Structure formats: C-alpha cells, structure tokens
Amino acid sequence: MRHIAPLDGLRGLAVLGVLLFHAGRFDGGFLGVDLFFVLSGFLITGLLLAEVARHGRVDLLAFWGRRARRLLPALAVTVAGTLLLVWAFGSVTLLRLGLDDTPWVLGNLANWHYIAEQVGYWDSADTRVFSHLWSIAVEEQFYLVWPPVLWLVALGPGRRRGRFPVPRRGAGRRARSGVDGWVAVVAAVGALVSLALMIAFTGPVDTTRVYEGTDTRAFSLLLGALMATAPATRLVARLGSRGASWAALVLACGIAAYWAMADGQNSPDLFRGGLFLHALAAALLIGCLAQAPGGAVGRVVGSAPLRRLGTVSYSLYLWHWPVFALLSEERLGRTGWDRTAIVVAVSVAAAVLSTYLVEDPVRFRARWARGRSGAVALVATFAVLVGLWAAIPVPRAGAGSVDITQLTADG
C-alpha cells in the first residue's frame, strides 16, 4: 500500500480531539476514538488484502508478530511507568483501582472488565488511570479475529477457482478482485449486525455497555475495512480526483459539525445510529483522501503539524490519561487553560520519548524482536509486568484517607 500523508494528519486530529475532550475543553472530542477505529480497519484490511494479492494467502503469525511489535512495547512501558508513578504520587483510590485493572489491561480485555464491573465511562473515568485503554482492547480483539475471518474468506474463493498460491504475474490481482468482493460483503453485513446490537443493547440510564463493547463498536472498524476493498475504492474512483476532493470537503465539514454538536451520554441519538453514520462518513472521507490526497482537505489535514502529531498519536493516546489523572487541579494548583496547556505539553513530551526510544526502535530496527527471539522477549516482558504488578502492595484505606470502596461499603 502506498503511503497517504493525510491519513497521518487524521490520526493527529483524532488524538487532539480526545485530549481536548478529556481536558474538558471539547465535548465532541471523544469521537476521535471512532476515527481511530475506522482508520485502523481501513489500513489493516488494506495490508491484508495486499498480502493476498502478492502471496495468495495471509500469514497470520507474521501479521500478529507485526502487530505485537507495533503496539505492545509502548503499552508495556506505559503500564509499568504508570503503576510506578501512581504508587509514588497517586492517591490510595487511584493505585487500588489501577492494580485491579492491570491484569485486564495486559490481557487486552479492559473494556469487558469495565462493563462487567459496571464502571460507567462517562462519570467514573477520573478514578482509573487505565480507563482509556478500553479502546486499545477493542482494537486488539479486532486484530485477533478479523485476519482469520479474512483468511477464510480468501481461502474459499481461492480454492474454488484454483488461484492460490499465486503462480504468475497478474494472477494476484485477479485473485484479489474476487476476494475483495467477498470481504466487502462480510464487512458490510458485520457492520449492520453490530449496529443492530448497539441499538438493541442501549439502555436508558448508562450507555457504557454499548460504547465499550467490542460487538457494538465493531461497525467502525468494519466500515473502515469495507472502504479498503476494491468495490468501495472503485466507487470512489468514479468521482475522479476533482469530485473526490469536493466530496472530502463536504464530508469533513459534516464531521466537524457533528463533533461540535455531540455531547456523549447526553446525545442518545449517538447510540441509535449516530455513531454508525459518523463512522460511515469517516470511512468515506478516508476513501476520498486516498483518491485525492492533494485536494483542499488533503492539504490541510496533511499539513506538517498534524502529520507530526499523527506520528506520535499512539503513544500520546497511551500516556495522556495517566498524565491527566496524576496532574490534577489540586496537585498543579492550576485550573482552566493553564492546566490544560501543562498536561498536554507533558503528555506530548512523554509520547515523543516513547515513540523514538521505544516504539520505533523495536518496530523498525530491533532484529531480536522478530521470530523466536521476539516471542521470548514478549513472554519476558509480560513476566516482568506481572512481577511488578505483584510487587506493588495493594494499599489499604488509612484513618486519614478517603477510599471509594470503603465509602460504598459504608453506604
């Protein structure tokens, strides 16, 4: 797949929206997570389909190895660093709940843990330093399930038509054309089923179940996957570069207006089709930017500041919420935009260090991170994290401390 610069800028916009939302400066910024989901579905599916075109198959172990090198080093450093910082500087409640959440974070099941514990996303996130990692768990679960589904879809048409493995030049494109159609059907049907589940499970009081559930949020990832298939790209290509540029402008304005009006839990229409329409618009915007990256929207979104922010977006997302939770108004003695500027600056600094000292070296330059040595390193990393988690003592509420668990027990 060719590199599409505006998509880096979209990552930057997505993480900027999330930062401003958590800082209390932009109510619709939480929709940046949906934009991340759609981007992930688009990029991952495009890579998998390109692999089918080249080799006639999907090497699942190699794919999961690449995902592990991309995501787990920064996550491991964030979890370890956050636990140590909360142990040293955090409150009793913050540490207690952080230790309670850690095993689920390491197992990429944080979203289901919060759903089972009935931890409301919209009103209780400030007590948990890992509350934002529910979305990372959703993506990891998608990476675990979607590639085998795509592999099975590819294997069926390939075997029936006798095209796998790809034996000669050009056969890969013909094989992919048939596979793409089936993948598009599976992604579209899966997205509609996910939407139906969200509508069916939406409750009148708290929407955490449908907001954090993998089944009810899969449509964002699957709509991105759908846009990566040949039928969708051919549809956008009919617009031509000029038409795609104008369509991108209309879609960008609509998405921006939706972000400005959205208000989370207080916008019930979000969970009855609003999030689906937003994800669909985001997928179409991505398709138009891929078709016309040099258009007006592509030039703005692909500007250097947004692209640079996009290159550190993963680490920035990982670190921003622990920084926000630790650098509270009480600790900083600052409120308003003064505090926001400080916590954003600290978050960006941590993200830059994580990206260039951890993410990029392991992802691009560390030979030991591949093959058997990589598997050993992965197991060793998780062993160290488990050891750290076990070594930090679980705090007990003292006479002068306030602990949410104790207050609940006391009524």
For 184-233, what is each residue's pLDDT tens digit? 999 999 999 999 999 999 877 778 899 999 999 999 999 999 999 999 99
Residue with the bigger pLDDT between 269 and 279: it is: 279
Q: What percent of the chain has pLDDT over 90?
A: 69
Could you give the number of structural domains in the chain?
A: 1
Return the closest-CA partner of residue 380 out of 70, 76, 63, 64.
Answer: 76
Return the closest-CA partner of residue 309 out of 3, 8, 22.
Answer: 8
Exposure string of 92-129, with b = 16+ CB inside 10 Å and e = fewer, is: bbbbbbbbebbebbbebbbbbbbbeeebebeebbebbb
Report DSSP letters for 52-107, one per residue: HHHHSS--HHHHHHHHHHHHHHHHHHHHHHHHHHHHHHS-HHHHHHHHHHHHHHHT
Q: Position of tokens 């029936």? A: 160
CA dihedral 23, 24, 28, 29 (to 10 degrees): 0
Return the closest-CA partner of residue 373 out of 68, 147, 136, 71.
Answer: 68
- For the chain, the average pLDDT equals 88
For 146-177, what is each residue's pLDDT tens digit? 999 998 888 775 444 444 343 344 444 545 55
pLDDT value at 288 more than 80:
yes
> pLDDT at position 177, please?
58
Answer yes or no: are the C-beta atoms of 286 and 42 closer than 8 Å: yes
139-142 long-range CB contacts below 8 Å, 24 or more apart?
139/36, 139/37, 139/40, 139/221, 140/67, 140/71, 140/108, 141/108, 141/214, 142/40, 142/41, 142/44, 142/214, 142/218, 142/221
For 73-130, what is each residue's pLDDT tens digit? 999 999 999 999 999 999 999 999 999 999 999 999 999 999 998 888 876 556 799 9
What is the SS3 assignment for 197? Answer: helix
For 385-401, what is each residue's pLDDT tens digit? 999 999 999 987 553 44
What is the SS3 assignment for 262? Answer: coil
**pTM to 2 decimals?**
0.90
> pLDDT at position 163, please?
42
Q: Which domain holds residue 160?
A: 5-409
